[in-house]
């Protein structure tokens, strides 16, 4: 159940299913005044957004070069790994072919 707001003679009653709180209008106005930052100056459009730094940090060329170097090194290692596996598979197939030919020659 949503809280209901009842104003009676400069007093606001906030009632909900959990509690009932009585607050005077002066206390409420003071609380709201303390929670807002209002200035007489107009808003500046030149000011950076407060959370702009969280959006995307600037990347320098050194960072990009380091990432590119790491990626190229990884690709090089993967290529060597695949070549090594292919070489192993080739030698295994050759061994099995020789073994099979020796078996065929020996028994036939």
Same domain, 69 and 32: no
39-61 pLDDT per residue, tens: 666 677 777 777 777 776 766 77
pLDDT of residue 50: 76
Q: Which residues of the chain have pLDDT under 50?
A: 1-3, 8-9, 11-18
> Range of 86's domain?
61-108
Q: Are 23 and 32 in contact (CB under 8 A)?
A: no
Looking at the 3D structure of the chain, how many domains does it have?
Answer: 2
pLDDT of residue 13: 47
**20 in a structural domain:** yes
**67 in a structural domain:** yes
pLDDT of residue 95: 95
pLDDT of residue 80: 94
**49 in a structural domain:** no
Residues contacting 4, CB < 8 A, separation 6+: 14, 15, 16
Average model confidence (pLDDT) across the chain: 77
**12 in a structural domain:** yes
pLDDT of residue 77: 95
CA distance 31 to 23: 11
Is pTM beyond 0.95? Reply is no
Same domain, 66 and 107: yes
pLDDT of residue 59: 64
**100 in a structural domain:** yes
**42 in a structural domain:** no
pLDDT of residue 75: 96
Same domain, 29 and 66: no
pLDDT of residue 58: 67
Cα–chain-centroid distance for residue 66? 21
């Amino acid at each position: 159940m949503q809280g209901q707001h009842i104003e009676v003679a400069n007093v606001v009653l906030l009632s909900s299913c959990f509690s009932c709180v009585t607050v005077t209008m002066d206390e409420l106005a003071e609380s709201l005044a303390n929670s807002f930052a209002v200035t007489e100056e107009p808003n500046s459009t030149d000011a950076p957004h407060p959370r702009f730094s969280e959006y995307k940090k600037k990347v320098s060329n050194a960072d990009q070069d380091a990432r590119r170097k790491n990626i190229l090194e990884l690709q090089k290692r993967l290529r060597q790994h695949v070549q090594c596996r292919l070489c192993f598979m080739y030698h295994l197939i050759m061994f099995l072919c020789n073994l099979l030919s020796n078996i065929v020659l020996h028994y036939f």
